């Protein structure tokens, strides 16, 4: 862990001094916004701020292979995007990055190649497009979510291959082999119910759907996703 009594920039300059050809401390401090809290000791930083300092420390030696464990954990949305950009730049610069995460959205955004690991063994692997096309959660399966009044009768939206459920009060999930006719059916259902959804989102299956399909077929153990 990070020494709790140290201040971020002082710590990073010390870490840089251990390498013969370190990256610029000032450049990393500026890029990761560490200057905003440079006068605060490590023990008083938030989890996301500590995460940024730890990421900077891991990069200072200019490694050819970089291991990142949950790099976006505890970060606010702006910092998360900042870290994503930096990871992409490092990849494009030729760095090999092994990233471990439980956040499937991170894996889908960042990974060139994905391993899903259960009990220490890889249960499936491939590029994100490969996993999406080969999985039982096929590309033809789509999910539409919408927000509306809670407790609505959605029976008219259900037919062979398409199901609808209220995942929490006012949040609905329509999934399956959706076709253009289902969009027309949805519009007619809204008109018949006198419902104007506050939001509608339609997407094809994601890496999270692949993960859940594998989890359902395996023993009910926690799965961990490793990506590189």
What residue segments make up the domains of the chain, in order of their start?
8-101, 142-204
| 8-101 matches 142-204 in fold | no
Q: Given pLDDT bands bounded at 50, 70 and 90, which one contains residue 228?
A: low
Q: What is the CATH code of the structural domain delimited by 142-204? A: 3.30.70
Contact status, residue 35 vs residue 29, Cβ threshold 8 Å: yes
Q: Is the pLDDT of residue 215 over 80?
A: no
Q: Is the pLDDT of residue 135 over 60?
A: no
HSE (side-chain half, CA atoms, 13 Å) at 105: 5
| The pLDDT value given to residue 139 | 47
Q: Which stretches of the chain are DSSP H helices?
A: 8-16, 25-31, 47-59, 77-92, 104-110, 128-134, 180-193, 207-217
The pTM score is 0.67
- How does pLDDT run across 43-78, given as a tens digit for each residue? 999 989 999 999 999 999 999 999 999 888 888 888
CATH architecture for residues 8-101? 3-Layer(aba) Sandwich (3.40)
- What percent of the chain has a predicted confidence (pLDDT) above 90? 61
């Amino acid at each position: 862990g990070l020494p709790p009594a140290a201040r971020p920039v002082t710590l990073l300059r010390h870490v840089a001094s251990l390498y013969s050809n370190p990256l610029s401390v000032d450049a990393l401090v500026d890029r990761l916004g560490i200057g905003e809290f440079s006068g605060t000791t490590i023990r008083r930083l938030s989890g996301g701020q500590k995460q940024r300092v730890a990421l900077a420390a891991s990069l200072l030696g200019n490694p050819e292979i970089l291991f990142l464990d949950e790099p976006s954990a505890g970060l606010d949305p702006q910092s998360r995007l900042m870290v994503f950009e930096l990871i992409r730049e490092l990849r494009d610069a030729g760095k090999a990055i092994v990233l471990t995460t439980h956040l499937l959205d991170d894996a889908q955004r960042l990974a060139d190649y994905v391993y899903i690991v259960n009990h220490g063994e890889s249960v499936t692997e491939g590029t994100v497009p490969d996993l999406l096309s080969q999985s039982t959660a096929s590309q033809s399966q789509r999910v539409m979510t919408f927000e509306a009044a809670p407790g609505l009768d959605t029976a008219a939206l259900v037919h062979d291959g398409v199901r609808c459920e209220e995942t929490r009060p006012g949040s609905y999930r329509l999934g399956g082999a959706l076709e253009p006719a289902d969009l027309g059916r949805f519009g007619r259902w809204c008109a018949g119910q006198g419902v104007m959804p506050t939001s509608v989102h339609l997407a094809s299956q994601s890496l999270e759907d692949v993960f859940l399909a594998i989890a359902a077929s395996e023993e009910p153990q926690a799965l961990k996703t490793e990506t590189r």
